[in-house]
Structure 1
């Protein structure tokens, strides 16, 4: 029970990586608010759904106020909500660029601007930003997505400094997953999946549970001396 009595918020938690993190955090003792634009695709003890568009600044303030009014604090925040609108740069539209930046980057800022200072006030906390292997190495056809995921790494380092500057143990870290077998990859042809797997040192794709366990480590006191760090969970992948 590594998260006993903790209040955790996980965005993008209706399915996929967010679902696995929410369920694992709850199993480890946390009360989890699973925020997503969609309704939850599952039921789990101590996981409570909340419909939220992280790109909507006013909605994020209302969400934050609701959680503080009900639970009085937020100990853990996982910024997992994200979207893709892939296109080669010469063909990318303003809409494709803007919506990815609004959700993946601004959406994280919309919550951390409230949660970070609150963690300073309560004496500590853990913020985890879900970046990506393409935020570290780039990827063809994903200029918008890779820019936002690289931006999260910069924000992680900045916030690790900002929120701990008064000597309060607010830790901010990032996870950069490689290719993980979520629903999105299940639509990819098998030959391409095998190609992706061969790009890793472990010669396989990752499982959502492996990202959830990495997030659990960063959320718990087991990582009490880890902050400002990007944890690459990609099987040794290089694009």
Structure 2
């Protein structure tokens, strides 16, 4: 083999090694530290909008098999686990179909009694503080016009906004839910347009949690693909960049 061929082969191998190292580093970061997620629906408006892209902290609640790509059945429970706190916006695997990611707010902790009465949230038979702070309209009109916007404050002091799209909707009056040990009750902030623990989602096991939403790093109008770079000047939501994904 000529010196030129040897040099070319060596250079190719070095490039392959750099690529492999970069992929391994990305895998470690995605598994142990942060994972990007996008918001596909309006169930968390007004906190999160369709077209928001955010980072989720993987270490906030420790690690389960769902923290690993492809979710191999290597162990049960969580490693270095810590419990979600009331009011956290968290990503989790749907209990009925663990291949599906959901994002909702932690409302009920193990042992809590949770109920909706005439659109008002009750925890352990006590009404959650709630006041109307204005109205809301999504930039794409998906939430309708002048939707009532409420500020809820949980017993631990966490505050966030919720929407009330429709009076007397199916989720406004529910039975009392008693959260089992090791499980959590999740609600969407867009209360009348959210599939959550009141309906098909049910109680979410601690093992199913992926992580805690941290920060919005990119946001674009929901009818525009991030790949349509030529539309960025008019479609990017710059005011949402680096905004907290919690409230």
* Normalised TM-score (structure 1): 0.26
More helix by share: 1
Greater relative contact order, per chain length (Cα 8 Å cut-off, separation 6+): 2
More strand by share: 2
TM-score, structure 2 as length reference: 0.26
Structure with max Cα Rg:
2
